[in-house]
Structure 1
């Protein structure tokens, strides 16, 4: 285990960096040691998950987190679930518009000319358009001052037609990212990154206004797949502020017994093998082996890692943190990469924006 490298994955609705030179894949499940700076978007009325504001339709078939009854795990189709959620959101938005004449609005601030960031802003706009959310965008040049970005945020904070604000990351190096993100009003922090939202999430008896989109999507996938969380042993691999830490807090709120595995954990495979539920957000390709998995465990793979693939038109393909070919033979259910957690993050962003509009206008 001395060669293992953990690099906590910070997946979010904001863009990350795609390494232009991916490590060569020797074997499908050989762990690769590189920083997972991939640009991607993976980005709800009440269900058994208290932070969703749209109606949930859980699968009638409960997935046991004990012993697998088949040799091949059930594939948790995040793309299909996200599509269902977007349809539910569209219905709610139409109902809200008809009842009180209000349409939710999402604002995005983009600084610079990064092609990847621009692509993800376009994708978010398409997602908004598809469900009926109004989109607002400010595109500032790379040379903009920090004050100009803060002024744009202030305008959106004060705009009653805007119910959610996103600052597309990464920001230019001369800007204070924490200062800028914290300037977003907590009532419009649809990414769920504001310290007050995270603090409320961590405290018993307190409810955050918003939950970070990727962890929220992970829990929603478990609920809609019929996975029982209460009383189960859960392991979160990775402790980033954006995924690992809030995912652990959410599992704890669901009455799971939670352990976080990170870069200083001794014998992580032994800890992981005790888990009924695993959420992996470490950002290391194919790190989690089938031999690390308890038979019948449920696995939510947040990792999205590029590995060189000469047969792909792009020259690389995307894989998760878990060795899918091995794990699928042991687990009872697993999310694929791509097509698992990824589509859920943007769905949760839309859900948070709808929730914000409902809250601001006291609409239920």
Structure 2
């Protein structure tokens, strides 16, 4: 069974649109998201356009700040300080990657944690680790949990989840979210021994390793739920054109698992929808 991320994202946007209307009516607050784009990376420009479009579709205010690639780190920090101090701005997102002369860690640390809708700030990471209310959680991991529940139901208690990948953006936070859902969680990575055998134990397998078609059918337990976070661009042998594939060999793994997210059309659409959810949550906290 294909787990339809597009439909899940559309359903979430409907829910968010209603919540935005309610917040306007009850508190007079319209959630506002500002996206900062430095440089002219083509992929980043596409991502930002999609974010701006979907933000306005759910009734939020969308602002976009475009800065040249030559922008200094000092100038970008000054721009963020201005946004931090603007009470009309509820969410701030700096589109990554940044030009090489700018330290991403410094920039992320400079964003007000209450407006950090990417959920990358160390304070939000700490709140997630401690299970505290009010944490703004990274968007892709949120989407992974929603899609897993779409397949398995609301209660994931007792499931064995294996996460391949230990990044701060996906691997670690999705593992923490799965722990909060009372799963037994194993984090695997590039140096894990007997990786295939470990994956075979998973009721829920989350692949976030950044290697095209890395997870094979004989790695997956029959009836497992597979969440493929990978986005890899490779050359299609038949056409010679590039195409997007995940970290999972979809054609083979889909024959043995009970549910799998496709690439594209799986986790990707959920990421932006969860970004909008974080913006709404940040607006509520501001009121």
Does TM, normalized by the shorter one, top 0.5? yes
Candidates 188, 191, 198, aligned match of 1:264:
191
1:219 aligns with 2:134: no
Q: Does the CA contact (< 8 Å) of 1:82 and 1:343 recur in 2?
A: yes
Identify the residue that residue 278 of structure 1 maps to in structure 2: 205
Candidates 113, 126, 151, aligned match of 1:186:
113
Identify the residue that residue 246 of structure 2 maps to in structure 1: 320
Per-residue displacement from partner, 1:88-118 (whole Å, max 9, x unpaired)? 1111111221222221000111111222222
Per-residue displacement from partner, 1:149-176 (whole Å, max 9, x unpaired)? 0111111111111110001111111112
Which structure carries more helix by proportion? Answer: 2
How many residues align? The count is: 286
Gaps of 5+ in 1: 1-73
CA distance in 2, matches of 1:208, 1:243: 19
Identify the residue that residue 56 of structure 1 maps to in structure 2: none
1:254 aligns with 2:187: no
TM-score (norm 1): 0.76
1:332 aligns with 2:265: no
Candidates 102, 106, 114, aligned match of 1:175:
102
Q: Does the CA contact (< 8 Å) of 2:4 and 2:266 recur in 1?
A: yes
How large is the RMSD of aligned CA atoms in angstroms? 1.4
Report the secondary structure of 1:259's partner residue. strand
Candidates 153, 163, 167, aligned match of 1:236:
163
Per-residue displacement from partner, 1:209-230 (whole Å, max 9, x unpaired)? 2000000100011223344421
CA distance in 2, matches of 1:296, 1:326: 14
TM-score (norm 2): 0.96
Per-residue displacement from partner, 1:1-36 (whole Å, max 9, x unpaired)? xxxxxxxxxxxxxxxxxxxxxxxxxxxxxxxxxxxx
Candidates 83, 86, 108, aligned match of 2:13:
86
1:151 aligns with 2:78: yes
Change (3 A) 1:112 1:356: same
How far the C-alpha of 1:290 sits from its partner, in A, is 0.8
Give the structure, 1 or 2, with the largest relative contact order (CA under 8 Å, sep 6 or more).
1
Gaps of 5+ in 2: none
CA distance in 2, matches of 1:207, 1:267: 37
How far the C-alpha of 1:311 sits from its partner, in A, is 5.6
Q: Does the CA contact (< 8 Å) of 1:310 and 1:316 recur in 2?
A: no
Identify the residue that residue 282 of structure 2 maps to in structure 1: 356
CA distance in 2, matches of 1:292, 1:121: 36
